[in-house]
Structure formats: structure tokens, C-alpha cells
């Protein structure tokens, strides 16, 4: 008997028929002799419907109270857990639903983007011991004062993995509308190939670089607590992709996947005085406003001043420009330039650690297509390039070919 956590996304519970399908699937697992905890998202479209209601309240784009936004959107998961629990019961198995405050999923108080601090698993264990299928609302938690919090888009993945970790589950299955992790977005590159396995670190990099299948935080949790994540389709029985600890076989693949992110914008500050504390002043001002800076590049100094370039999410571009413009005056920088027409393309693979020349092969491949590289950022298992956004898809395809990602044998069974 295993303890299995299954997470179903919004599409998988998007209608009563689909909820019934999920119920059947969950029951099947239960009847195979396992204990099952199901984590669900809101029905597809529901979160957007709720946010649209909120948006109608603030036509001048005045900021809405985030505590109340969390109360609002958390209702979406409440609907789906109740419906799923009822569906399971009508099919003859015992079920019990839990909201974030019932489990409890304790988070910090950063509304709309809270982080899970602790899972109190007592009530879940009781319900499991009572032979019930446990249905938990994803995406939501409570802070220490009992306020409802939400974990941000994709937060249900994190809920599922955190619960799997909290209960030391054997596996966390993430059911979604795709059947696994691909070498890249199949909509962009038709030669994209489904991976049988991928390491936590690669998955983290792919998610960070724009792959949208799993929320980053969920992979961090899974890695920290060594919970295998099985990403698979809720609409078929096909095996998906296992996100797990790396092993020798994985290292043979130089590049495991290619991610891209069009939701980036670039800001360059020219003539930044080259003295201690200047970068801190700029980036702490941005961070204080909750804006997440991605890449930062600073050239070597000339004439006691330097150029500083960084990227932010497109949605935060205008706000970032305003903040930076203000600071530039304070610190005496020359001027600020912004560019929204950029995208980031990244190659990821733990094999990079042991293979030289990966970055240069990437640059050369892009150069052959006359794609100019505006910024470069690397980690041990990743190389990212910022390019003009119109080249995004081309760049992905070129790199997919360059590193022969369509070939399975060469990478996973050699």
C-alpha cells in the first residue's frame, strides 16, 4: 500500500463530467490498495471569472486589496473540492474535503503569492485512517492570524507537493492537460519529445526559464523532501514524466530541454556612477515594490560610470521604469532606456556540467540564423540568451536541432 498524492489542474476538473472522470480515476487508485489524497485547482475559467468581477470594481486600475482578493479567488477551489468529494461519495467511496484552513496549510502573509511554511497533517491522517479519500483545496492556505492566503498561479502544484512532503507520500502525481514534460513547447517545435525522466534541478531551471507545466516552488519542495513528481495527463493512461533525483543516465544528455519566456522586458540604465551602493539602491527599490528582477548585467566600468541592464516581467515594466527613473535622478545616472520586445531562450541540462562548449554551440547556432544575442546569463546547468522577441520560436527550433533533442536514444538509453 502506497500513499499517493494526486493533483488535478483546472482543466481536469473543468466540468461535472470531468470531475466524475477524476473521481473514477481517484477511486481506481484507491481500489488498487493505496491511500489517496487529491489536491484540486479551481474549475477551469473560474479564477479568471472571479478576477474579472474584482476588476470591475476598480476601473481606474486602482489597486485592489490583496487580502480580499485572496478571499475571493480561494472560493474557486472550495467549489471543486466539494464537488469532487460528492462525486466520489456518489460512486460509493468515502471522501472528505479540506480547505487550506482546515488542513492546515500554514503560509506567510504575502497575499496572492504566499509561501507555505508548514502543513499540519493530523486531520488528513485521521481521514485516511477512516478509509476516506481526502480531497484538499490547492492554491490556498492561511497565515498565522487565520487570514486566507493564496500561493500564486500554479500554486496547487506546490500545495500537492507540500502535502506529499508533509505526509511523506510515496509519489505526487500531477495530472494536467499535457501528458508530460517535453524537450520544449510542442506548439513551437513539432519535433519536441516527451521526457521519461528529468532531474529536479533541470525541471527547476526549465520552470524558472518559462516552462509552465509545474510551478517552480513545487519543484523546490519536491527536491527538498525527495518527493518524486509524476507529471501526466488526466485524459489518458499514458505514463508521463517523472521528475526525480538525478542519476548517471541523465547526465548523458547535454541538454534536456529548451525553455522560452516572452514575458520579459529589458531596462538599461546608462551612465551609472561606479561607486559602492548604487546597484543596491536600484534593486532594493524595485524589490520593495514586489517586482522580481530576472537577469542583471553590468559591463565593466569606463570613465567611472557603467551601464546596467536587467529584465523584469512585462507586467511590471512600466512600474519598473518609473521607479528606476526616479532613482536615476537621485544617483546621477545619465538616462534610462526600456525595451519590451525581448524574449529569453534557455537551454537546460545537467550534462552541461561535464561537457564543454555547450554555450558556444548555442551562440553559434543562433548566429547562423542571424539572431542577435542581447544578454547572456548562465548557471551550472543552464544558458539563457535574451533576443528580440520576434526570433523566439526560430531560436527554440534551431537549438532543438542543434542539440538533437528529438533523439531519444542518444540521451536516455545510451
**Residue 83 or 161 with smaller CB distance to a copy of itself:** 83
Any contact of residue 95 with a copy of itself (CB under 8 A)?
A: yes
Write the DSSP assignment of 282-322 as a string of letters: HHHHHHHTT-----EEEPPPBTTEEEEEEEEEGGGHHHHHH
Hey, what's the cell of 54?
474584482
**Which candidate, 134, 123, 100, places its Cα nearest to that of 26?**
134
**Which candidate, 301, 258, 253, places its Cα nearest to that of 279?**
301
Any contact of residue 37 with a copy of itself (CB under 8 A)?
A: no
**Residue 138 or 351 with smaller CB distance to a copy of itself:** 138
Q: Answer whether 345's CB lies under 8 Å from 387's CB.
A: yes
**Residue 101 or 230 with smaller CB distance to a copy of itself:** 101
**Residue 61 or 370 with smaller CB distance to a copy of itself:** 61
Hey, what's the cell of 76?
474557486
Report how far residue 260's alpha carbon sits from residue 247's, in angstroms, rounded to the nearest whole number: 26
Least distance between a copy of itself and beta carbon 142 (Å): 9
Q: At a CB cut-off of 8 Å and minimum separation 6, what does 307 contact?
A: 268, 269, 270, 271, 272, 298, 299
Near a copy of itself in 135-154, by CB under 8 A: 146-148
Question: Stretches 85-93, 209-217, 222-230, 329-337: which one binds a copy of itself (CB under 8 A)?
Answer: 85-93
Any contact of residue 61 with a copy of itself (CB under 8 A)?
A: no
Any contact of residue 74 with a copy of itself (CB under 8 A)?
A: yes
Near a copy of itself in 213-232, by CB under 8 A: none
**Residue 42 or 327 with smaller CB distance to a copy of itself:** 42
Near a copy of itself in 7-36, by CB under 8 A: 16, 19-20
Q: Answer whether 81's CB lies under 8 Å from 23's CB.
A: no
**Which candidate, 190, 181, 210, places its Cα nearest to that of 397?**
190
**Residue 79 or 359 with smaller CB distance to a copy of itself:** 79
**Residue 56 or 304 with smaller CB distance to a copy of itself:** 56
Report how far residue 199's alpha carbon sits from residue 212's, in angstroms, rounded to the nearest whole number: 16
Q: Residues binding a copy of itself: what is the number (CB under 8 A)?
A: 40
- Interface with a copy of itself by CB under 8 A: which residues? 16, 19-20, 50, 53-54, 56-58, 62, 64-65, 67-69, 71-72, 74-76, 78-79, 81-83, 85-87, 89-90, 95-97, 99, 101-102, 123, 146-148
Amino acid at each position: 500500500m502506497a500513499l499517493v498524492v494526486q493533483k488535478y489542474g483546472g482543466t481536469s476538473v473543468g466540468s461535472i463530467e470531468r470531475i466524475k472522470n477524476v473521481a473514477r480515476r481517484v477511486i481506481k487508485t484507491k481500489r488498487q490498495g493505496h491511500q489517496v489524497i487529491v489536491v484540486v485547482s479551481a474549475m477551469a475559467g473560474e479564477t479568471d471569472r472571479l478576477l474579472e468581477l474584482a476588476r470591475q470594481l476598480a476601473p481606474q486600475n486602482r489597486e485592489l486589496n490583496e487580502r480580499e482578493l485572496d478571499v475571493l479567488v480561494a472560493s474557486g477551489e472550495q467549489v471543486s473540492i466539494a464537488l469532487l468529494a460528492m462525486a466520489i461519495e456518489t460512486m460509493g467511496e468515502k471522501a472528505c474535503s479540506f480547505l487550506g484552513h482546515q488542513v492546515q496549510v500554514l503560509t506567510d502573509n504575502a497575499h496572492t503569492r504566499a509561501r507555505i511554511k508548514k502543513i499540519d497533517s493530523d486531520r488528513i491522517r485521521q481521514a485516511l485512517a477512516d478509509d476516506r479519500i481526502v480531497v484538499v483545496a490547492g492554491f490556498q492556505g492561511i497565515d498565522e492570524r487565520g487570514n486566507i492566503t493564496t500561493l500564486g498561479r500554479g500554486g496547487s502544484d506546490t500545495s500537492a507537493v507540500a502535502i506529499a512532503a508533509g505526509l511523506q507520500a510515496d509519489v505526487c502525481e500531477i495530472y494536467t492537460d499535457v501528458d508530460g514534460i517535453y524537450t520544449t513547447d510542442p506548439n513551437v517545435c513539432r519535433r519536441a519529445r516527451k521526457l521519461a525522466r528529468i532531474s529536479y534541478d533541470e525541471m527547476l531551471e526549465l520552470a524558472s526559464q518559462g516552462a509552465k507545466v509545474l510551478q517552480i516552488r513545487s519543484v523546490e519542495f519536491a527536491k527538498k523532501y525527495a518527493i518524486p513528481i509524476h507529471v501526466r495527463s488526466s485524459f489518458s493512461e499514458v505514463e508521463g514524466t517523472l521528475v526525480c533525483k538525478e542519476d548517471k543516465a541523465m547526465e548523458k544528455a547535454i541538454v534536456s530541454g529548451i525553455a522560452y519566456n516572452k514575458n520579459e522586458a529589458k531596462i538599461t540604465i546608462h551612465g551609472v556612477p561606479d561607486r559602492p551602493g548604487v546597484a543596491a539602491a536600484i534593486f532594493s527599490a524595485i524589490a520593495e515594490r514586489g517586482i522580481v528582477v530576472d537577469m542583471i548585467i553590468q559591463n565593466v566600468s569606463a570613465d567611472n560610470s557603467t551601464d546596467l541592464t536587467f529584465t523584469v516581467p512585462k507586467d511590471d515594466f512600466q512600474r519598473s521604469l518609473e521607479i528606476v527613473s526616479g532613482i536615476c535622478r537621485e544617483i546621477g545616472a545619465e538616462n534610462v532606456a526600456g525595451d519590451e520586445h525581448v524574449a529569453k531562450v534557455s537551454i537546460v541540462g545537467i550534462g552541461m556540467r561535464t561537457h564543454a562548449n555547450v554555450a558556444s554551440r548555442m551562440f553559434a547556432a543562433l548566429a547562423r540564423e542571424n539572431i542577435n544575442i542581447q544578454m547572456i546569463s548562465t548557471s551550472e546547468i543552464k544558458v539563457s540568451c535574451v533576443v528580440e522577441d520576434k526570433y523566439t520560436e526560430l531560436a527554440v527550433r534551431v537549438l532543438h536541432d542543434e542539440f538533437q533533442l528529438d533523439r531519444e536514444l542518444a540521451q536516455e538509453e545510451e
